[in-house]
């Protein structure tokens, strides 16, 4: 099969059960239709799982580590790796399939995805399950499954250093899980190169179910492009586009940390388990304070001009000595504002533990916020919490909970299953403040005054997702960006249509902007079709009653609350625009056909 230029044409297919390693050739049509990254990932997942209800933790479920179509080229911020698999955390209200769950895709920065392409692959697919802990070592054509027993149980921070000692080359890039993934916490994450996480959807849990501690990659190759000269022009133009703009400067100075203050100011932050949108102490944990007290240096992902990662240390107080990155917006909100924690050093320590255990900080911050509220309201007592005094703002209690959850001990076992499970267990209307969609925790954005934020959450194919997009159009475009491997934050620094033009230079296939956005819609619809097949319906596209019933009591948006009628209307308009049945959310045959998804 002759591959399309811009690609190697090969996905590395590793079966951990049999130890077989195979170079899986990819049909050029799949590259054209699904681009790479998230898009190619869902296509490979669809092909691998031919029936609904496969247990996400069974050997059958493949774990896909997907660089994008731009990965491996020096295009600004083309640094991401998208991890695609069937989620172990999401669940429909009802379904005839026992293990029904959604697709998940989770995106991480750093250097890992580009290195996969340097090694000569357009992706890595891990199937099966090893009978004891292993790691995967890839050095161009040399691929080995190696013993990882001695690393099992190790936190991600220590492992990051120990692994380099083992491998003997700092240029090797790796991704790995911590104890949470090993212990099959459904919202465990995968981490790469010092705490860049594929946080969401439980990718680390799937990795743990395969007994796979880590994947290490080194490469010396690169894909080719079709129109070399044109590519160089676009590369130069794209680099220039980032230079000296206020947005670039803001990213460099505060990363997403600046949002800790402005999101609170506009009433959009998750505060006190989503009860409020404004945190009066946001300035104590925000970017300006962090820059003054904590952050030492700025760090960038592969060829990124923004350097939004901030690393530092807690200089004083009981948490002195902690060295870590952040806070950034999501971690600072979920383990800060959402839990009413205003002690930045303590919060840093909690973030460090969360990352070290390999927990998704968003999900775990949401779960702990829910428990704090239930405890505050007297719905659960100290006994239920194994004696952990989960009062609002109690950092040490939060750290104890993180430990319990990562090891699934006592209350941690229950909490590891997510807020939807806890709400059922606790009952007494606690589901009204369980902030999740399809079992997946809401992220650090509140939606009391923004119906489109709620739409973004409830319609996301991986369960609640804050990056999904506030309209069908935005969602299609996000799916595309995730398929190129360009960072969603940074892609705005490219001029309009630049990504389509670059796709054209790489592949020679003509990419009109319509063709391009159709690809985004195609990807989104295939994900949706996967979920529909599992049994997800309109009744699953819902969000906690809190946002409709309990108006904000403080801040600029005091009094704001969602209106059910208006929200339903908006949802119906959304399904109509998508060409999905508004009762069942089933994509129409015609629309699927028009998108080239006849095989669904």
Partner 1 sequence: MSEQEASFPKLTIRELFHPPLQDRRSFIKMMVIGGLTITVGGVVIPRLRFGVAHAESPQFSMILVDFNKCTGCRTCETVCGQYNHKAVVNGEQLLGLGNPYLSNIRVYSFNPDVDVPIVCVMCRDNPCIEACPVEEDEDGRRALYRDPKTLAIKNDPERCITCGACAEACRTQRVEAIVPNPKTNRPERMCTLCDGDPQCVKYCPYGALDHIVGGYIGGSHYGLPAEKIAKELIERWYGVKLGKGGARG
Q: Which residues bind partner 1 (CB under 8 A)?
A: 73-74, 111, 118, 157-158, 160-162, 164-165, 170-171, 193-194, 219-222, 224-225, 228-229, 231-232, 239, 242-247, 249-250, 252-253, 258-259, 261-262, 264-266, 286-288, 291-292, 296-305, 307, 309, 311-313, 315, 321-323, 325
Min dist. Cβ of residue 488 to partner 1 (A): 18
* Contacts of 360 by beta carbon, 8 Å cutoff, 6+ apart: 187, 188, 189, 197, 199, 200, 201, 202, 204, 441
* Contacts of 387 by beta carbon, 8 Å cutoff, 6+ apart: none
Min dist. Cβ of residue 111 to partner 1 (A): 7
Cα angle for residues 442, 552, 335 (degrees, 5° grid): 40
Closer by beta carbon to partner 1, 272 or else 291: 291
In angstroms, the CA 574 to CA 195 distance is 36
Min dist. Cβ of residue 78 to partner 1 (A): 11
Strands 124-127 and 10-15: parallel
Closer by beta carbon to partner 1, 92 or else 305: 305
In angstroms, the CA 584 to CA 97 distance is 17
Q: What 8-state DSSP symbol labels residue 300?
A: -
- Tell the residue number behind the tokens 């705490």, with chain if given: 195
Closer by beta carbon to partner 1, 96 or else 292: 292
Best CA proximity match to 480, nearest among 38, 157, 47, 13: 38
Closer by beta carbon to partner 1, 20 or else 228: 228
Closer by beta carbon to partner 1, 145 or else 294: 294
Min dist. Cβ of residue 489 to partner 1 (A): 14
Closer by beta carbon to partner 1, 239 or else 403: 239
Min dist. Cβ of residue 261 to partner 1 (A): 5
Closer by beta carbon to partner 1, 207 or else 506: 506
Closer by beta carbon to partner 1, 120 or else 208: 120
Min dist. Cβ of residue 117 to partner 1 (A): 10
Min dist. Cβ of residue 249 to partner 1 (A): 5
Best CA proximity match to 442, nearest among 192, 200, 87, 176: 200
In angstroms, the CA 156 to CA 239 distance is 33
Min dist. Cβ of residue 11 to partner 1 (A): 20
Best CA proximity match to 16, nearest among 200, 147, 172: 147
265: left (phi over 0), alpha (psi -120 to 50) or beta: alpha
Give the pair of three-digit tokens for residue 136.
């995967």
Contact between 384 and 439 under an 8 Å Cβ cutoff? The reply is no
Sheet holding 63-67, edge to edge: 20-25, 10-15, 124-127, 63-67, 81-86, 103-108
Closer by beta carbon to partner 1, 289 or else 411: 289
Min dist. Cβ of residue 151 to partner 1 (A): 10
């Amino acid at each position: 099969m002759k591959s399309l230029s811009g690609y190697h044409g090969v996905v590395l297919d590793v079966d951990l059960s049999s130890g077989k390693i195979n170079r899986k050739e990819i049909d050029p049509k799949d590259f054209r239709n699904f681009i790479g990254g998230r898009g190619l990932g869902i296509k490979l997942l669809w092909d691998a799982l031919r029936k609904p209800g496969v247990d996400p933790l069974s050997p059958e479920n493949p774990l896909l580590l997907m660089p994008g179509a731009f990965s491996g080229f020096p295009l600004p911020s083309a640094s991401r790796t998208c991890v695609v698999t069937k989620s172990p955390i999401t669940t429909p209200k009802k379904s005839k399939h026992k293990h029904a769950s959604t697709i998940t895709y989770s995106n991480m920065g750093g250097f890992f995805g580009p290195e996969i392409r340097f090694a000569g692959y357009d992706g890595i697919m891990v199937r099966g399950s090893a009978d004891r802990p292993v790691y995967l070592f890839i050095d161009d054509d040399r691929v080995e499954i190696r013993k990882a027993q001695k690393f099992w149980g190790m936190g991600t921070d220590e492992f990051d250093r120990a692994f380099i000692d083992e491998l003997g080359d700092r240029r090797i890039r790796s991704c790995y899980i911590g104890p949470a993934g090993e212990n099959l916490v459904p919202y465990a994450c995968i981490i790469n190169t010092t705490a860049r996480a594929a946080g969401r959807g439980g990718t680390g849990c799937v990795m743990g179910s395969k007994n796979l501690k880590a994947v290490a990659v080194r490469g010396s190759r690169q894909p080719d492009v079709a129109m070399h000269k044109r590519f160089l022009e676009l590369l130069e133009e794209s680099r220039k586009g980032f230079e000296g703009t206020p947005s670039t400067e803001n990213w460099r100075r505060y990363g997403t940390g600046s949002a800790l203050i402005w999101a609170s100011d506009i009433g959009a932050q998750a505060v006190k388990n989503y009860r409020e949108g404004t945190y009066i102490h946001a300035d104590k944990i925000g970017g300006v304070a962090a820059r003054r007290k904590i952050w030492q240096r700025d760090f960038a992902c592969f060829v990124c001009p923004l350097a939004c990662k901030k690393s530092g240390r807690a200089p004083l107080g009981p948490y002195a000595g902690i060295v870590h990155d952040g806070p950034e917006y999501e971690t600072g909100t979920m383990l800060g504002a959402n839990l009413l924690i205003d002690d930045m050093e303590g919060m840093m320590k909690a973030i460090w533990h969360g990352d070290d255990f390999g927990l998704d900080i968003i999900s775990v911050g949401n779960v702990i916020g829910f428990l704090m509220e239930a405890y505050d309201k007297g719905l659960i007592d100290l006994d239920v919490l194994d004696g952990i005094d989960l009062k609002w703002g109690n950092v040490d209690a939060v750290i104890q909970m993180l430990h319990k959850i990562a090891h699934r001990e006592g209350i941690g076992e229950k909490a590891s299953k997510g807020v939807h499970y806890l709400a059922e267990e606790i009952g007494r209307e606690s589901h009204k403040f369980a902030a999740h969609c399809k079992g997946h925790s809401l992220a650090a954005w509140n939606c009391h005054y923004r119906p489109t934020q709620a739409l973004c959450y409830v319609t996301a194919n991986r369960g609640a997702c804050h990056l999904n997009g506030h309209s069908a159009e935005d969602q299609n475009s996000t799916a595309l960006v995730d398929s190129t491997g360009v960072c969603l934050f940074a892609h705005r620094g490219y001029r309009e249509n630049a990504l389509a033009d670059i796709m054209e230079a790489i592949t020679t296939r003509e990419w009109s902007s319509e063709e391009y956005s159709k690809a985004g819609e195609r990807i989104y619809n295939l994900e949706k079709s996967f979920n529909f097949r599992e049994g997800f319906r309109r009744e699953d596209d819902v969000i906690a009653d809190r946002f409709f019933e309990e108006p904000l009591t403080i801040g600029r948006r005091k009094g704001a609350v969602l209106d059910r009628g208006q929200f339903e209307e908006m949802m119906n308009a959304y399904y109509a625009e998508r060409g999905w049945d508004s009762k069942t959310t089933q994509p129409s045959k015609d629309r699927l056909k028009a998108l080239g998804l006849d095989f669904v």
